[in-house]
Amino acid sequence: MQSQRCAAKIEIMRKILGFLILLLSLTACHSSSSEAQKLLKREAYAEHQTALLCEALSRNTSLDSIRAIAEKDEEVLFYIFDARQMVYWSSNRLASDEVYLTTYDTWREKSFRNAKTMVRWTKAGMYNVLTVLPLNYTELQDYTDIYSVASQTFSFRKLLESRDKPYASSRLYFILCHVLFGLMVLIGIIGLIYHRGIRNMRLSTRIMYIILTPVLAVFIYVFFMSISYVHTNQEEHQRHDLQMRSEYIQSYLRSLYYWDVALTPAQAQGLSIDLHDLGYDMNQDIHVYSLSGELLASSSPVLFNSGVLSRRMAPEAIFSGTPSAICYEHIASHPYLVSYIPFHNGSFVTIGYIAVPYFVSEETRNAEVDTLLARLLPPYIIVLLLALFFAFWASRSMTAPISMLTEKMKRFALGGKDNHIDYPYHDELGALVERYNMLVDRVEESAERLASAEREGAWRTMARQIAHEINNPLTPMKLSVQKLQLKRGTEQFDEYFDKTTKMLISEIDNLAHIAQSFSTFAKQPEVITTEVDVAEKLSNVITLQRANDEQIPIRYVGADSGVVVLADQEQISQVFVNIIRNALQASPTDIIVMLNASYSEREIQISISDDGTGIPEDIQSRIFMPNFTTKSNGNGLGLAISKHIVEASGGRITFETSPKGTTFYVYLRLPLRS
């Protein structure tokens, strides 16, 4: 059993290992495919540049035109040969002693002494053009016995020493500056994203953005310009130092070879000894090239013998036609400055060229940057913190009256004692606050006048309504009494007396009902919400209303009890009475009352429907207004009182109407259950 488990585990591990190998192979295939596509694009670009160069050669154009094409890009190198030797090269970065002509118009791999490349020969009239695509240059650690090579040089040793020294403090300052600026920029961007733009921010936050953004932008600009200035200033200083060294070496060698009219290969050994002695005294590498741009002698020949450097001058110096030039060259991926000046004899005839390399000291550069950042960073931080504090204070002080104004408007109440804002300053915000206080005074005055006018209008309306309601029965009552007086002493008096007194009693009861209705509406007793069995209340009201004078049946659909809602125990029945009475007056044949106890989780629904002619559209918006009625004997208060009772209980009342009838809906809240 145990052996089977071990075999199963081994099988699982084998499958996992196979999957990983497959994944790595697919990744490698994808990577190699991507590299192949990039190489094809580079080859196509190189072929295009080669075609332009060959066309220029076939037209025998100037060297400047050829250089404009050939020296356009360091990614493509060109070497031009005539029948005997190399007559032009676009770069001296490749180290190679001899190149052999092979098949034309075909790319093939070739390894130079310091790089792996793809090369292609092209025929251009009497010239042969070698196009070279460097694939990778040999790094310093790839050279054999690199430290033994460095020990025999002067400038190269400085490069190694500079590479091997860490510069933690400079990196620390860079990290601090970048973290500080990056953090502030990140917070700003997050704020913009969170508020969906600066216009959706609070005014105080917007003011802080407006103040801090240019300050931070200026600081970042000054910071990077300062770093750039340090590098530029240091490079100018190094160029000046290199120029002074070159002129001294030029003067010294001119004195040694005062009478020579040319430099020949036979003089190379003696010249190398002189260069070595001079380089030892100056701690400086020195190279001398022939007029054709090929190396004659060097204070450190090991650099050329080991394939670290090319034996040809930089094309900027040999083909530009200028008497001297300072340009950048490379050892592997490390740039360094080289000064090229003419090698003059006593008659100031140029017999060769002198090259003086100068390796830029990273230690010196980092020390200068370190010093600059050590001086800049503390005041930067202090000023940024002060700017942040000032922006916060300015935004708060500028928006404090506005915030106070907002709070006052939120808590504004007519007749309140603290509606005014106290702001002692006479600026733009002070003018705004003063205007606000004036408007508050005007609003309170207008509110008082409006309230007074509304009270007077309400009393006038109520008086007209009461007068109208009372005046309607008074006229027939007066006529009936006068007629009764006329019939006094006649045979019909007793009969008419009984009829008139019955009518007068009915009209007096009607007047009493009108007075009671107006009294009820004026008092509007407070609605006390409690738990009420609305089914029982509704059932009782329907039972009483079924004995109506119109003999209209009332059908009820729903429970007789057990439906508990939140309503006023005494006044909820009045709501049902008012609505059912209106339905009885509007309905010719039938009334349906339905109780839907499961309408929703929060409320129940009661519907009261009639089959009348409906409510006209022009008066539907006024149906719940006090004193509004379409009946000759109504006072227009029933629905208004019902709406007040229902809404004060937390419910709502609506209606739907059509020519086929009207339905009123009463929604009452259910009590919360734990």
pLDDT band at 522, cuts 50/70/90?
low
pLDDT band at 255, cuts 50/70/90?
very high
558 or 469: which leads in pLDDT: 558
Please name the amino acid found at residue 438.
Answer: M
Tell the residue number behind the tokens 């508020």, with chain if given: 195
313 or 230: which leads in pLDDT: 313
Give mean pLDDT, residues 515-536: 74
Mean pLDDT (the chain, rounded): 78
Q: Assign 3-state DSSP to the chain and report helix, strand, coil percentages, each to 5.
A: 55, 15, 25
Residue 304's contacts (CB-CB under 8 Å, 6 or more residues apart) are 95, 295, 298, 310, 311
For residues 486 and 509, give the distance between their C-alpha atoms in angstroms, rounded to a whole number. 25
Is residue 86 within 8 Å of 80, Cβ to Cβ?
Answer: yes
223 or 468: which leads in pLDDT: 223
603 exposure class (CB count in 10 Å sphere: 0-12, 13-18, 19+): middle
444-467 pLDDT per residue, tens? 777 777 766 766 665 666 666 666
Residue 547 has pLDDT above 60, yes or no: yes
For residues 263 and 291, give the distance between their C-alpha atoms in angstroms, rounded to a whole number. 9
Residue 346 has pLDDT above 50, yes or no: yes
Locate 429 and state its tokens.
């915000």
Residue 11 has pLDDT above 80, yes or no: no
The CATH code of the domain at 441-523 is: 1.10.287
The SS3 of residue 658 is: strand
The pLDDT assigned to 642 comes to 83
Asked whether the domain spanning 525-669 has the same topology as the one spanning 441-523, the reply is no
Tell me the torsion sign for CA atoms 174, 177, 180, 181: negative
- How many helices (H) and strands (E) would you count in the chain? 15, 17
For residues 481 and 470, give the distance between their C-alpha atoms in angstroms, rounded to a whole number. 17
What is the 3 state secondary structure string of 102-155? CCECCCEEEECCCEEEEEEEEEECCEEEEEEEEEEECCHHHCCCHHHHHHCCCH
Residue 119 has pLDDT above 60, yes or no: yes
373-412 pLDDT per residue, tens? 777 777 777 877 787 787 778 777 777 777 777 776 676 6
Domain 525-669: state its class.
alpha beta
The CATH code of the domain at 163-368 is: 3.30.450.20
432 or 267: which leads in pLDDT: 267
CATH architecture of 2-137: 2-Layer Sandwich (3.30)
Give mean pLDDT, residues 584-602: 83
For residues 501 and 493, give the distance between their C-alpha atoms in angstroms, rounded to a whole number. 12
Which of 148-157, 164-173, 220-229, 601-610 is least confident?
164-173
By C-alpha distance, which of 637, 619, 617 is closest to 627?
A: 637
* Sequential DSSP letters for 425-468: --SHHHHHHHHHHHHHHHHHHHHHHHHHHHHHHHHHHHHHHHHH
Q: Percent of the chain scored above 70 by pLDDT? A: 74
The pLDDT assigned to 206 comes to 76
The pLDDT assigned to 169 comes to 47
139 or 328: which leads in pLDDT: 328
Residue 259's contacts (CB-CB under 8 Å, 6 or more residues apart) are 345, 346
214 or 353: which leads in pLDDT: 353
Domain extents for the chain? 2-137, 163-368, 441-523, 525-669
The pLDDT assigned to 168 comes to 45
pLDDT band at 166, cuts 50/70/90?
very low
49 or 638: which leads in pLDDT: 49
Is residue 660 within 8 Å of 589, Cβ to Cβ?
Answer: no
The pLDDT assigned to 63 comes to 80
Please name the amino acid found at residue 670.
Answer: L
163 or 385: which leads in pLDDT: 385
194-244 pLDDT per residue, tens? 777 766 777 777 777 777 778 778 877 877 787 777 777 777 888 888 899
Listed as own residue / partner, the contacts of 334-339 with beta carbons closer than 8 Å and 24 or more positions apart are: 334/140, 334/159, 334/163, 335/360, 336/155, 336/159, 336/360, 337/238, 337/239, 337/242, 338/314, 339/242, 339/243, 339/245, 339/246
Which of 8-22, 184-198, 650-664 is least confident?
8-22
The pLDDT assigned to 355 comes to 93
Query: Residue 546's CB: how many other CB atoms inside 10 A?
Result: 15
519 or 60: which leads in pLDDT: 60
Residue 84 has pLDDT above 70, yes or no: yes
Residue 422 has pLDDT above 90, yes or no: no
Give mean pLDDT, residues 252-262: 90
The reported pTM is: 0.51
